[in-house]
Chains A and B, each alone.
Chain A
Amino acid sequence: MRDALIILRKDLRIEWRTRESLSTIVVLGVLLVVTLSMAHDPTPEEAPGLAPGILWAAFVFTGVLGAQRSFHVEREQDCLASLLGTAIDPGAIYAGKALGMVALLGAMQVVVVPLVSIMLRVPIAPVLPELLVVLALGDLGFASLATVFAAMTARVRAREMLLPILLLPFLTPVLIAGVKTTEAVLAGGLLGAGDALGVLIAFDVIFVVAGGLLFPFVVRD
């Protein structure tokens, strides 16, 4: 865990200094929310029903962009090789990178979630703690899977196209469960989420375990 925190701290320092990923994904998130909200032009009655779908669509597309950036810094100057040469457990690189992605998604959500609340007139303050739990679970599932695929595609030429094509089909269960759980939270509470919350947690566990097991094979020759 110590080595994972070193990787996380290093990534956050780079991001803080450049703000390349954060600024890009926040702008994309805002654009997606505004565009999708205006395209639907919902009535006040329809608007709350659209919010979960719009939120998660924004999370997924911005997340893909963030995942690509995350391994871009390791590809430049062959930094990943120099990390692996330190005898670090690849699992620590995986954990550090995934936590960095969770932090990035969380920072983007600080802007995007209130924006959806304002644009679609969905009150989030009363359900904020439960919504944060759902977002954290969704971010963890996304980051644990996206980290593996981003590492896998980092060395190929068509990585920008390949990453979403590989990632999105596997991400579908988390996406569906995330939308349904968010729907339940906005409608009154997490208890109404039923099976969707269980599915979200189950896929988080599967993706974290599978990601941790697969990552060493992906980054090593």
Chain B
Amino acid sequence: MSTGTSGSDAVIDSHGLTREFGGRPVLRSIDLSVAAGEIVALLGPNGAGKTTLLRVLALLLRPSGGTLRLLGLDPDRERAQILRRVGYVGHESGCYGDLTGAENLAVHAELRHVPDPTRRIAELVAWSGLHDAAWRPVRTYSRGMQQRLALARALMHDPDVLLLDEPFTGLDRAGAESLVHLLEALGRAGHAVVMSLHDVTPVSAIVTRTGILHRGRLTWVEQEPAGDPIVVAAAYTRIVVET
């Protein structure tokens, strides 16, 4: 079974990665290699382990077994160096409701030592389309606005690896299109993107590989094109529905 790119080129390289919660396996022997410039979609039903896998890759959870290298570095010994080059957006925005959007971005700009933070925040506010809301408390934002702010936060330091957990949740059509353009541009610029999705359709034109996670096991869609919704639906049925 293909795991993607060869280990030496990989920005994400895992072998036999496992994760258990209270003895219950959630990830089972995940082999995953992702090269710079790849856009990888991970599909799977609820509880398949998508969020856990992304949190392990974001170094928010330790694997229970197996090996993991990110950007050629060892997460146990070079955690800070890795995190400086990784961006992560989870299910929740990770933004403080009682701070404004701009203040949230400023906190992350300071913590990430972003050079010229004012300019970078202005760029991200413009990209996220939050000009009019940037000085309003995040608590007043809609779900889609919070999601755009979370994406802006994760892009603050121009990460080499972007990990996105269901990034299209709450986005309207314009927001989703803007995100697809951004992901495409990131991929072209050599950034690696790994995202979990319930539906591959919004990114079908840009994904370079699709994996299906089911009961903690990752299976790659081998048939080309890997992002074609029909191809993916057939693979999904075979892996998830019929097993």
Residues A77-94 near B (CB distance < 8 A): 77-79, 81-89
Q: Which of B89-120 contact A (CB under 8 A)?
A: 90-99, 103, 107-108, 110-112
B110 close to A6 (CB less than 8 A): yes
Q: Which B residues lie within 8 Å of A73 (CB)?
A: 96, 98
Q: Are the CB atoms of B83 and A82 closer together than 8 Å?
A: no
| Distance in angstroms between the alpha carbons of A220 and B79 in the assembled complex | 12
Task: Report if A18 contacts B (CB, 8 A).
Answer: yes
Q: Is B198 an interface residue (CB 8 A)?
A: no
Mask of B36-78 contacts with A, CB within 8 angstroms, 1/0? 0000000000000000000100111110000000000000000
Q: How many residues of B contact A (CB 8 A)?
A: 33
Is A81's CB under 8 angstroms from B94's CB? yes
Q: Are the CB atoms of B107 and A10 closer together than 8 Å?
A: yes
Tell whether A18 pairs with B98 under 8 Å between CB atoms, given A13-B103, A78-B92: yes
Are B84 and A87 in contact, with the CB atoms below 8 A? yes
- Is the CB–CB distance between B80 and A87 below 8 Å? yes
Find out whether the CB atom of B83 lies under 8 angstroms from the CB atom of A87: yes
Q: A10-B107, A73-B96, A86-B108 are in contact. Are A81 and B79 (CB under 8 A)?
A: no
Chain B interface (Cβ < 8 Å from any Cβ of A): 55, 58-62, 79-81, 83-84, 86-88, 90-99, 103, 107-108, 110-112, 137, 146, 153
Closest 10 pairs (CB-CB, A-B): A82-B94, A87-B83, A78-B92, A86-B111, A87-B80, A77-B92, A221-B61, A14-B98, A6-B110, A221-B62
- Other than the given A17-B99, A81-B60, 9 more pairs (CB < 8 A) read A6-B107, A6-B110, A14-B96, A14-B99, A79-B94, A79-B96, A81-B90, A86-B111, A87-B84
